[in-house]
Amino acid sequence: MKVVLEHLTKKFPNRNKKIKGDVIAVNDFTFEIPDGKLIGLLGPSGCGKSTTLNLISGLEKPTSGKVYFGEDDVTGLPPEHRGVGLVFQNYALYPHLTVRQNIVFPLENLKGKDKLSKEAMEAKALEAAKLVQIDEYMERKPGELSGGQQQRVAIARALVKMPKVLLLDEPLSNLDARLRLQTREEIRRIQKETGITTVFVTHDQEEAMSISDMIVVMKDGIFQQMGKPQDVYDKPVNLFVAKFLGTPAINVFKGFVRSGKLYIGSDAVLDVDIPDKEVWVGIRPEGFIVDENGPFKCKLKGIEVMGRDTSVISENEELDGVTVRSIVPSDTAIDTTKETVSFSLKPYKVHIFDKTTEERIVTDAEA
Ligand code: ATP
């Protein structure tokens, strides 16, 4: 089931008297979530991710705009008539009910022609439990399960009615690092097996990039970019998206273009087909090549060997930040007695942004 958001806007009344006007949590969103895909909604805290999810589920009503499931306008429908499965950060399981009873619960409320026999409900609950590999714990209470197991029960409960759309709001936040990794792979597997269109909200860019077919990046209620994770990483539309994706983060320098050369300070670091102007230069950590004849010079501060890679830490006066972080293969020879490290740059790892609009400048070569 594809999901279409059309000029979707949600305003909340502002309770802060010092600030005038409403809070615009979601500002004129228009995009389509393709059928059967897993979409990661991504952005910093307060950017409107949960509100977007709540507008899709029907828990919130939009101030304006529409939500379509397939060709059907569901904007006026309450959550229970939309056929959505919801999973939140706090698993919200009933502590006094067993795993089986928790999973069966949504089926017990079905009425009329949808009403199921007790046997049919049990069979569906077992099927959902098997899908999330929790079927051996059916008679336990939530308090007798680990956090990861509880979250799987919550997912089974959301899946038991075979929703048209599965909505997950920070479902992994309460889990430790190892369980997070394991559970996110589980979610990916379950999503692939069921083919249910899924929207996954997180502020963790690595999490979103690792499991999503596509990511949507948001900032202050405003849609920034949608695309395959690698495409958004390789071709960010603006400086915000470039900075938001990637660990370590992209290195951003003040720069300028003169006569077809990109300068950072007095170093002409690359040839570019851009008219003369002031720019921001973003260089991904993996875009640096240690090269004693390289044009880009930084003050060497140290290196950190991290197994396969080495992190070179340096400084540059034009950097918008404290230290330049570059990642190079661990067999790279680096003379740490020297004060300066010279780099040449991989052009496709260098992004150039307009100084004022902060939009990425697409070079003729790329276009
Ligand atoms: P987080 O990652 O911290 O959960 P989020 O990206 O999910 O954040 P939302 O919860 O959607 O962000 O909130 C978006 C904006 O709308 C925030 O500025 C928030 O304070 C505001 N907001 C959300 N719900 C309400 C409400 N019921 N009343 C007033 N303002 C609200």
Residue bearing tokens 């709001």? 169
Say which DSSP state 347 is in: G
Residue of 17, 19, 49, 53 to mutate, ligand 1, most atoms within 8 A of C-beta: 49
Nearest CA owner, ligand 1 atom 28: 12
CB 365: neighbour CB atoms within 10 A? Answer: 10
The pLDDT score that the predictor gives to residue 180 is: 83
- Ligand 1 centre distance from Cα of residue 46 (Å): 5
Amino acid at 314: S
Distance, CA 10 to ligand 1 centroid (Å)?
10
Whether residue 17 is predicted with pLDDT greater than 80 in this model: the reply is no
Q: Where in the chain is the domain with CATH 3.40.50.300?
A: 3-243
In DSSP terms, which residues pair with 267 in a beta bridge? Answer: 264
User: pLDDT band at residue 338, thresholds of 50, 70 and 90?
Assistant: very high
Instruction: State the distance from the centre of ligand 1 to the C-alpha of 42, rounded, in angstroms.
Output: 14
Of residues 182 and 225, more confidently modeled: 225
Residues with CB under 6 A from ligand 1: 12, 23, 25, 43, 45-51, 203
Q: Which atom of ligand 1 is nearest to the CA of 50?
A: 7
Tokens of 42: 């991504």
Q: Which two tokens stand for residue 247?
A: 């660990």
Q: Helix 177-194 crosses helix 118-131 at what angle (to 10 degrees)?
A: 120
C-beta separation of 283 from 251 below 8 A: yes
CATH 3.40.50.300 fits 3-243, yes or no: yes
Mean pLDDT calculated for residue range 171-200: 86
Can you tell me which atom of ligand 1 is nearest the CA of 51? 11
Average pLDDT, the chain: 92
Q: Give the neighbor-by-neighbor strand order of the sheet with 277-283.
A: 267-271, 261-264, 251-258, 277-283, 350-354
| Average pLDDT of the residues in 121-143 | 91
Residue nearest to atom 25 of ligand 1 (CA): 12
Q: What is the pLDDT of residue 125?
A: 92
- Mean pLDDT along residues 282-299: 96
Give me the DSSP letters along 17-38.
TTS-S-EEEEEEEEEEE-TT-E
Provide the pLDDT for residue 67.
97
How much is the pLDDT for 149? 87
Out of 108-112, 164-168, 283-287, pick the least confident.
108-112
- Closest atom, ligand 1, to C-alpha of 218: 6
Q: How many C-beta neighbours within 10 Å does residue 258 have?
A: 10
| Average confidence (pLDDT) over 72-77 | 95
Single-letter code of the amino acid located at 50: S
Distance 226 CA to ligand 1 centre (A): 21
> For residue 86, how far is its CA from the centre of ligand 1 (angstroms)?
18
pLDDT value, residue 258: 97
Residue 149 falls in which region: left (phi positive, over 0), alpha (psi -120 to 50) or beta? alpha
Instruction: Return the residue whose CA atom lies nearest to atom 3 of ligand 1.
Output: 45
Examine the pLDDT at 117 and tell me if it is beyond 90. Answer: no
Q: Report the residue among 27, 51, 89, 172 best suited for mutation to probe ligand 1: largest number of ligand atoms under 8 A from its CB.
A: 51
Q: How far is the CA of 275 from the centre of ligand 1 (A)?
A: 41
Kindly give the distance from the C-alpha atom of residue 178 to the centroid of ligand 1, in angstroms, as a whole number. Answer: 29
pLDDT on residue 242? 97
**Range 326-334, long-range pairs (CB < 8 A, 24+ positions):** 326/251, 326/283, 326/285, 326/286, 326/287, 326/288, 327/248, 327/285, 327/286, 327/288, 328/288, 328/289, 328/290, 330/305, 330/306, 332/290, 333/290, 334/290, 334/300, 334/303, 334/310
Distance 221 CA to ligand 1 centre (A): 9
201 CA: nearest ligand 1 atom: 7
- Burial class of 56 by CB neighbour count within 10 A (0 to 12, 13 to 18, 19+): buried
